[in-house]
Amino acid sequence: MNIRVFFAPSRLCVRFVLVGVFVWAQTLLLRAAEVEKPAEAKPSDPAAAAPYAEPGDESDQYQVETLLSGLDNPCAVVVRPEARDGQPYEIYVSESGAGQVLRVTSDKPSESTPIITGFPVDSYGDAKKAESEYRIGPLGLAFITPKKLAVGGAGLEQGEDLVTVYSLPEDGSALEYKQQDHAVGPIPKGKKTTTGEGNFYGLAKSDDALFVTSNGDDDEAWVLKADLKANKLRDLQPFIATKRLVGTTGPTGAVVNPKQNANYLVISQMSDFETDRDSLITFYSPRSGKVALNQQTGLYDIAGLAYSPTDNLYAVDVVRADAKLGGVYRLDSAEKDGKQTCRAVKIAGAERPTALAFGPDGAMYVTAIGPRQAPGTPSTGVLLKITPKTDAAKF
């Protein structure tokens, strides 16, 4: 999948929760998958996953507030860890089309400050394929420590992009793109990738690694992995060939389950530019790369994943074929045809949502591109805050 397809018109993403027997089954499967050797490339049919249960809608139980507007293709949002209880915390947004990362504080959420600027920016899109054209620069974000922010790049030629890491100044002053603490990559064309890898969209950190979803060789659809030692990334390499394992392209969202007894790497697959509800989520062993569980979701194009403070899993569905269908969903445990599966439950709508993250107070933050169709037109990207109307609906 070319990253330009991802930025074609999208649908509202969904957020989902996996609980009960579903989580228990995942734990058993992951333990069986914990073998210390590279992932084996064995093709599998995504249809082998249990059919999804029909989506639900609880959006009337949540309120949506627009914090920032007029953003140029915002692609990621992350909350700085280790904020003190009851104190303001920081939210970081990659404004991809503007080639910068913004900082917002929870006590002044309508004000943003550029914190890293000058990222390389490129254009993607193909009018012949009914795709919108977008300017793309910094993509995924992840804190590898409370002071070090990793940024997935997308503005260079294929096979030249980097994951760059920045040590954020104590005084909050801005950095330039080249003021990197360190970087990993690139991954040029070679034995494992016929095209070279780039457009590093989803970033997910574990205790000893950073996982990165990549755009490049469609026959492999790689998830990459860099070792994390002494607060520094090393040796970014292809790790999981998702196309060979789950049968479809487009790895996008990435998150690591925070539970110690179910410490999966969860990856969403966007698949092709179609109108089908064929987006998958797959649970992998973060050590061996083996598949523990593969699930159909009933969503179109999952772009981002995040766990809530109560360990529930949520997703945003960008819906490339129809932006007005985009939204945020929760996946509940369900059963269909006697098989354990999941049900996507809508909690909010958004046009072309791209990522989501949770604050320590339980608030959800979502970036969305909005209805904008091409460069040269007004930027329509937003940062949204979503909160439950009652305690019964909390994330």
- The CATH code that applies to domain 3-393 is 2.120.10.30
pLDDT of residue 394: 84
75 secondary structure, DSSP code:
E
For residue 327, the one-letter residue type is G
Whole-prediction pTM: 0.89
Buried b (16+ CB within 10 A) or exposed e, 314-336: bbbbbbbbebebbbbbbbbbbee
pLDDT of residue 9: 35
The closest of 287, 332, 308, 367 to 66, measured between CA atoms, is 367
The mean per-residue pLDDT over the stretch 26-43 comes to 46
Q: Which helix (H) or strand (E) holds 19?
A: none
For residue 20, pLDDT over 60 is answered with: no
- Greater confidence (262 vs 135) lies with 135
* Average of per-residue pLDDT values in the chain: 87
215 secondary structure, DSSP code:
B
pLDDT of residue 373: 65
**pLDDT tens for residues 140-163?**
999 999 999 999 999 999 999 999
The mean per-residue pLDDT over the stretch 107-124 comes to 95
- Greater confidence (341 vs 237) lies with 237
Domain ranges of the chain: 3-393
Give the lowest-confidence range in 48-52, 90-94, 148-152, 296-300.
48-52
pLDDT of residue 233: 99
**Coil, helix or strand at residue 308:** coil
pLDDT of residue 50: 76
The mean per-residue pLDDT over the stretch 104-132 comes to 84
Please, are residues 75 and 199 in contact by the beta-carbon 8 Å criterion? no
pLDDT of residue 51: 84
